[in-house]
Each structure stands twice: as structure tokens, then as C-alpha cells.
Structure 1
Amino acid sequence: MDIDINLEKRQFSLQEYQSLSKWSRAKELVVTTLVGWIPRPLGTVLRRLMYRTILARVGKSLYMQTGIELMGANYIEIGDHVKILRDVRINAFAPNSKIYLGDRVCLDRGVDIILVTHEGNCDVEIGEYTYLGPYTCVAGPGHIKIGKSCLIASHTGIYANNHNFADPTRYIWEQGITRKGIVIEDDCWLGTGVKVLDGVTIGQGSVIGAGAVVTKDIPPYSVAVGVPARVIAQRDDM
């Protein structure tokens, strides 16, 4: 199934969004406080039932461990047989935005997915059978699309934004950001500690070596290593 899902959503003003978010956040806190800490197996069953009341969509057989933090849960959609392990944080607190986890996605311990911005209109899509390793960070506010059957190793950073810094007379935080977006196509493997910067597309079937910093597009079926990452081989030639 293609992960180019329909992301239709009503356009809220910032004031409307903030009003709705306060009510939604109160519900999230109540639900997570009541059942978020309960150990397995009882906690797994209760979270599967109770989190349906705050998430936008939940598929079959959701598995969630303890210590998971959700913000903007009503903008988070989860497919079938998804696994979310301990201490994961998913934050969709941005107007007119959405986070989508496809069927059989696994978020390992400490994964952080965050879309915090007042500008809004940003999305994260993670395709079916994709695995995100421990303490991986996926951060907007640009659009991020991770394809199907990808392997993302621990401590990887995927950052879909960049700070402007051209004016030395102003603080960097005052100069705004750019957000071009990131695409990681199907069947990619990113090694431990890889960093993917804004505006990059990693082609289908590519392998990125541990510790690499990806600053430009990687063609399909490439093997890339280094800082900045450069292609050293093609998998179809091997």
C-alpha cells in the first residue's frame, strides 16, 4: 500500500487551534496519567483501549509500552499492528499538521517525533514495516516522508528545517527558518548516528553508513558514507 495517504484536514486559525489544543491536551493528560504507567500485560490492553479516545485513528493490535508521551494526539494516525516501545515521544503540536504511522511500524525505545511550530502545515509519514531504532529523532516542521520497509538505526537524526543566519547583526533565532522537506524512499538502511539534513532525498534501496551526514540527494541503490556523505558504490553493480 502506497503511503501517499490522503491528508485532508480542516484549516484552523491559530486561535481556534490553540482553543481546541487545550481541551485535547487535557484529555491526553488524563488518559496517559491513568494508564500510561501500568506495566504489561494489563497496561498493554488498557492502553490499546483508552488511547483510541485521544488518537485520530488507531488500527488493529496496537502495542504500546510504558512512559509514552503524546501531544496533539488528535493529529496522530496509527495503522495496524504498530509497536511503540518505552519512552517514545510523539508531538504533533502544530496547526493543520499530521503524523501517520503505517501498518507494522516499530518505534523503538526513546524515539522522538516532533512537529512543533506555529506556522503548521507539516506532516510526517512513516511507511509500513519500517523500523526506527532507539533514540532516533525525526523533527519538522518541514514535510518528512519515510518509505516502506526501511531500517533506521539508533541515534539517527532526520531534521526537516534549517536556520537562516546570513545577517550577523541579528540573533540567529530571529532570522527564521527554511523547510524544504525530506524524503527517504522504500527499502533504505541508515546506520547508527546518521544525520539527514533538510532538502534531501535518499533514493530507494540505498545504504547510508554509520555516522554519515547526508547533505545532498543520494541516487537509488547507492552506498554512501562520510561527512558529508558521498556515494562509494552502487548496489545494483555489486
Structure 2
Amino acid sequence: MKNYHPKLNRLQEVIVTGLLGDLPAIALGPNLRKLVYRSILAHVGKSIYIQKGVELLGACNIELGNGVHLFKGVRIDALGHQNNKITLEEGVAVERNVDIGALDNTQIYIERGTFIGIGTCIAGPGNVKIGKRCLIAAHSGIFANNHTYTDPLKYIADQEVTCEGITIEDDCWLGHAVTVTDGVTIGKGSVIGAGAVVTKDIPPYSIAVGTPARVIKTRLPEESINPQDLKIMAANSN
């Protein structure tokens, strides 16, 4: 991570992105951004591609691995805390108009080869980890925070915000407009149907649909399933 000097870092990234951020998506623009953005980002790998109109905030807390692709309208915001960190590993592709926001003291980690579809939102302040080779379809929401509303005499905005964090393990496929709520783990190899709202843990290699999401079947032979996972499947299917 680069030295953390909030005002100086922010001034530097405003100048760099202001000059280069909207250069056309021909060879000149992406190549200049790939070269010059190294001065503001915490880490930049080889062969990255940053299209015009990408917004980077708190760039000194953002790491881009080899072959990362950021398309038009992507917004990555790591401002707010010295310990914020957003990491996109090798081969991560982030489609148009995706919003990734860390808020305070937040780690967002997207592992190798994962695809994030158009218009998706990923937000802290809870930590978010998305595993390898996941497919996150368009307009999904991954929200690692939750407002409490137990006191009807107070505005909800003035009550506590919880942030337990979210884990999506390797090789998961989230269909169009899936919502994942705070505190959830989606097990490896799971498929979540379009429009589902995931409010409970999903065991590995499950297929889950609905609002709230419930497990309707497994991708594995029953004899190979962990007994504890069978209990979670049974609870989620009710």
C-alpha cells in the first residue's frame, strides 16, 4: 500500500484521472491510463485495461492484478479509512456501471478470473470476499451492512448499522438481479437463481431460488454431502 496522506493522495488522483480518465477508448487512452495510473494506485499488474469514464477514489488503497479489465462507468471507492483495501486479482473483469464501495475500515477482495456484470453494486462497511472464477450477473447487489430499526421513536438512519461481512466462495454463479445480504456465506460451486434474495448461508454446490432464497437441490450426489450441509439445506428449503 502506498503512503497514506488523504488530502495529498486525493489531489493527485483528481489531477491524474481528470486529465486521462475520459480519453477515448482507442489505444492512446487505455495505454496512457495503464502507464500513469501506476502513480496513484497501490498496485498495478501487467496488461490491465481501463476504459474511459472509470472513477477511482482512494486509489492508494486499490490494487489491480494482471489482466484486470474495468469498463466504462465503473466506480471504485476506497476512500474513508487508512485500512480500506479493494483488491481485484488477475483476470477480474468489471462490466459497465458497476459500483464497488468500501466505506470505513473495509476489505473487498475479488479473486482471480471473476466476472462482475453490468450495474452490480458491492458495498461495505463489512468485508466482502468473492472467490475464483465466479460469475456475478447484471444488476446484482452484494451489501455487507444492515440497518437496525428496533426503536420506532428514532429515525432508522440514526440507529445502529451492523456489518458481519459476506463470503462468496469459488465457482459460484449468481443470476440476474440477485441480492446478497450481510452475514451470508455462499458455498463453493453454488448457483443462485435470478432475482433471489440470499439471507442465509448456502451450502456448497447448492441450487437456490426465491425470496428469501431456499435450496431446491444440490449439484452433488447425496452420499458425498457433508452431514452439516444437509442440515443447512433442510433448514433453507423450508
Same fold (TM over 0.5): yes
Letter in 2 for 1:103: E
SS at match of 2:150: coil
Identical amino acids, percent of aligned pairs: 56
Q: List structure 1 segments (4+ residues) > 6 angstroms apart after TM superposition.
A: none
SS at match of 1:199: coil
Question: Aligned residue for 2:84?
Answer: 97
Q: Which aligned pairs between 1:48-127 and structure 2 lie closer than 5 A? A: 48-95=34-81, 96-116=83-103, 120-127=104-111
Letter in 1 for 2:9: S
CA contact (8 A) 2:2 2:60 kept: no
Letter in 2 for 1:80: N
The answer for unaligned runs of 5 or more in structure 1 is 1-7, 11-16
Letter in 1 for 2:6: S
| Structure 1 length-normalised TM | 0.90
Question: Aligned residue for 1:30?
Answer: 15
Provide the alpha-carbon RMSD of the alignment: 1.5
Question: Given the alignment, which residue of 182, 206, 216 partners 2:166?
Answer: 182
**Counterparts of 1:213 and 1:65 in 2: how far apart (Å)?**
31
Question: Given the alignment, which residue of 153, 170, 177 partners 1:169?
Answer: 153
2:116 corresponds to 1:129: no
The structure with more radius of gyration: 2
CA contact (8 A) 2:2 2:42 kept: no
**Counterparts of 1:151 and 1:213 in 2: how far apart (Å)?**
16
Question: Aligned residue for 1:153?
Answer: 137
Letter in 2 for 1:48: K
Letter in 1 for 2:34: R
Question: Aligned residue for 2:123?
Answer: 139
SS at match of 1:113: strand
Question: Aligned residue for 2:209?
Answer: 225
CA contact (8 A) 2:191 2:207 kept: yes
- What whole-Å deviation, never above 9, does each CA across 1:27-75 have from its counterpart, x for those lacking one? 1111111111111111010000111010000011110000000100000
The answer for unaligned runs of 5 or more in structure 2 is 223-238
- What whole-Å deviation, never above 9, does each CA across 1:61-111 have from its counterpart, x for those lacking one? 110000000100000011101100000000001311100000000000111
Question: Aligned residue for 2:184?
Answer: 200
Letter in 2 for 1:225: V
Cα deviation for residue 237 of structure 1 reads 3.3
**Counterparts of 1:45 and 1:115 in 2: how far apart (Å)?**
27
